[in-house]
Amino acid sequence: MTATAPSIQLPLGVEQITALLPHRYPFLLIDRVVELEPNRSVVALKNVTFNEPFFQGHFPGHPVMPGVLLIEAMAQAAGTLIMLSESREPGQSVVFYLVKVDKARFNRVVVPGDQLRLEVEHKRRLRNMSQFVGRALVDGKAAAEAEFLCAEVPR
Nearest to 117 by CA among 134, 137, 133: 137
Report DSSP letters for 74-141, one per residue. HHHHHHHHHHHHS---TT--EEEEEEEEEEEEE-S---TT-EEEEEEEEEEEETTEEEEEEEEEETTE
Which secondary structure element, helix H or strand E, spans residue 55, and what is its range? Answer: none
The CA distances from residue 62 to 26, 51, 58, 66, 111, in Å, are 20, 14, 7, 12, 9
* Distance of alpha carbon 111 from alpha carbon 100, whole angstroms: 26
Q: Is 62 labeled as catalytic in the residue annotation?
A: no
Which residue among the candidates 23, 58, 62, 122 is catalytic per the annotation?
58
**Which residues participate in catalysis according to the annotation?**
58
